[in-house]
Chain A
Amino acid sequence: MPDFRIAQAQFQPDPGSPDGQTLIEAPAAEISEIRRFLLSRGSSAMADRGFSWLMLLCALSIFVLVALIALELWRGSQLTLHKFGLAFFYQAFTDPYTHLTMYWDPVNELFSARPFVYGTLVSSFLALLMAVPLAVGLAIFLTEMCPRVLRSPLAFLTELLAAIPSVIYGLWAVFVLVPLLREHVNPLLVKFLGWTTLFNDNNPTGLGYFAAGVILAIMILPIISSLTREVMTAVPHSQREAVLALGATRWEMIRMGVLRNARIGIVGAIILGLGRALGETMAVAMVIGATPEINRSLLANGSSMATVIANEYAEAVSNMHLSALTEIGLALFIVTVIVNALAQVLIWAVTRGTPAQTR
């Protein structure tokens, strides 16, 4: 066995070179024991090529997945695309008997995505309004102010917040958050902000756009703050030192040295959070109230694009109904792809060029 090893080290054909070929063509009588052993192991050129093709195939499958999603949703929404066209997203119908405006009537096959688009936009906007200042504040605290001992556990805690499943947020919201809002927060909002007509106390359940906005804010906070932290750590230390050397206070250093350099990336982080909020399904489905209506009051029941799919798809009454829901899904897909792509580009613009580092 030892001589074999030495021989192997000396005669190992260079992978990919035509050596292996010439050896095979040599007359059989001249092949020594060692050579035969080596030949029996074969040339690795084929194996190498095959392996790299296989890995390429795996990588390309990601493109295939995205194309497949787009194609299937497109095919599934043909019925409503043909019947309503783009009006699907803004039209409204009038009930022939009550003369009230309505948007969603599966029985008579009248579909309009308007209340769902509205609900998605309103709840996501509310979520951003609450989450962005908190997330940026948290990121500033963690990168610039926090004592070293606290940094790691706090970062870990926010990471956990990102890993909690949507349905558990929903469960918690139904049993803890919504009663809290109903008993304590909503009355205050009506009392102090009632004049804006955005808060109206005729919904006794505590569900609605506002509750959805609050739970969404909690859910997108960790994403925004961890990405903000990432772009802030990507700002070179020399920037901070330069501003400090001019006699700036810590806040001035953060404002001029860090935030100004990282602002594009922070916008990217916020947009990514928006993307998550737009597509969030379960937690919102559990607290938004599931009513296909448009209400001015933020405390009223509503519905959103993702939640209407979740609530109705398995029990859809007709092909038209399925098609309408699939078209909402298609719109959601296109919007989230655009939003995510934009966010990736912005974040990449800031973190590009910085080496991988401990965050």
Chain B
Amino acid sequence: MRTEKFKLRTQVRTLTDRLVTALAILATLTVIAPLVAIFVYLLYKGASSLNFAFFTQIPKPVGEKGGGMANAILGSGILLGVASGIGVPIGIGAGIFLAEFGRGSKLAMGVRFTADVLNGVPSIVMGLTAYALLIAHKIPFLPFTGHFSAFSGGVALAIMMVPTVCRTTEEMLLMVPHAIREAALGLGVPTWRSVLSITVKTASPGIITGCMLAFARVAGETAPLLFTALGNQFWSSSLNETIAALPLQIYVYALSPYDDWHRLAWAGSLVLIVLIVLAVSLVRWVTSRGVLKGAI
């Protein structure tokens, strides 16, 4: 009787184990399915819509066939340039502080915590902040303020880049072996020089790709640009004017009733996604070898 019960129990346990395994595999497939669906659809729709004109022409008026998103690509480039120009140095500086100067201190923990929290703040809030800060009022002596402008869009994106760049820089710097720092300091190299030319240089592939990752993330951000950069149907390269951006243009075109604009939206999405996949794969490649192996 006892053994009968035991056998039954074992069978139930084995069965549960199998069932859970099956469920886990099913969950994995369910997760992979939308990803594959998105990519296949993007490739299929995007590649068939992508042509030379997409990269060289500005949008045609409603009803005319053709046209491209050249102005949006330029605009995205300018916005990202402003964002990286402001966000990357601050982020790298903060990362260096966390990894080299404040290691283990309460202040560093506070900064790290705040950076992680800031990373989770919705992007639309950054847009609101940039609007309140730069657009709502004209700031004396500061150009580009007081109206919608490319500059304010860049600032909103820069705020988003800082925490990402800061945390990746820190993670990369932490992977650099202590012996290298000690060797530099032992030769009498001043601390700042040892940090910049030894530690940061060793981790530079990781830091650069980390910046690229932040860059790619921000490249797809639409919400903070909605009421800062505002979008533009024409060529514009001035920081003082409203400017077109790829994700903004995709948003507007996706919700439009015109097939031709849908086509452009898919093509734009494909361009964005290629940029992002490149950045993500590069990070993965860099962190799979050498000193930086295992970072992130």
Contact = CB atoms under 8 A, between A and B. Distances in A.
Task: Verify that A and B bind, or say they do not.
Answer: yes
Interface of A: 9, 12, 14-15, 44, 47-48, 50-52, 54-63, 65-66, 68-69, 72-73, 75-76, 133-138, 140-142, 145, 154, 156-161, 163-172, 174-176, 218, 221, 225, 249-252, 254, 272, 275-276, 278-282, 286, 306, 309-310, 313-314, 325-326, 329, 332-333, 336-337, 339-341, 343-344, 356-359
Interface string B120-144: 1111111111011100100000000
A141 B27 contact: yes
Given A62-B166, A309-B128, 5 more contacts: A57-B93, A58-B93, A65-B159, A165-B221, A339-B120
B188 interface: yes
A165 B226 contact: no
B272 A218 contact: no
Interface string B219-239: 111110011001000000000
Contact of A356 (B163, B171, B213, B269): B171
B37 A176 contact: yes
B254 A58 contact: no
Dominant SS at the A interface?
A: helix
A310 B27 contact: no
14 contacts: A59-B93, A62-B118, A65-B159, A72-B133, A75-B132, A134-B27, A157-B32, A161-B34, A163-B280, A165-B273, A167-B220, A310-B124, A333-B121, A359-B294
Contacts of B223: 166, 281-282, 306, 310
Contact of B25 (A51, A65, A141, A281): A141
Interface stretch (B14-22, B67-75, B201-209): B14-22
Given A156-B284, A221-B31, A340-B117, A76 B128 contact: yes
Contacts of B58: none
Interface residues of B, number: 102
Interface in B24-65: 24-28, 30-32, 34-35, 37-38, 41-42
Contact of A168 (B38, B96, B119, B122): B38
Given A55-B97, A68-B129, A165-B221, A63 B111 contact: yes
B94 A168 contact: no
B90 interface: yes
Contact of A170 (B113, B191, B251, B276): B251
Nearest to B248: A167
A125 B235 CA distance: 43
Of all A-B residue pairs in the complex, the 3 with the closest CB atoms, nearest first, are A165-B220, A279-B122, A137-B27
Interface stretch (B77-85, B98-106, B176-184): B98-106
B90 to A, nearest CB: 5
Given A48-B191, A251-B17, A340-B120, A168 B90 contact: no
Nearest to B21: A145
Given A168-B38, A310-B226, A249 B16 contact: yes
Contacts of B230: 314
> Which of B26, B37, B132, B281: most chain A CB closer than 10 A?
B132
Nearest to A13: B188
A252 B259 CA distance: 54
> Which of B107, B128, B217, B247: most chain A CB closer than 10 A?
B128
B225 to A, nearest CB: 10
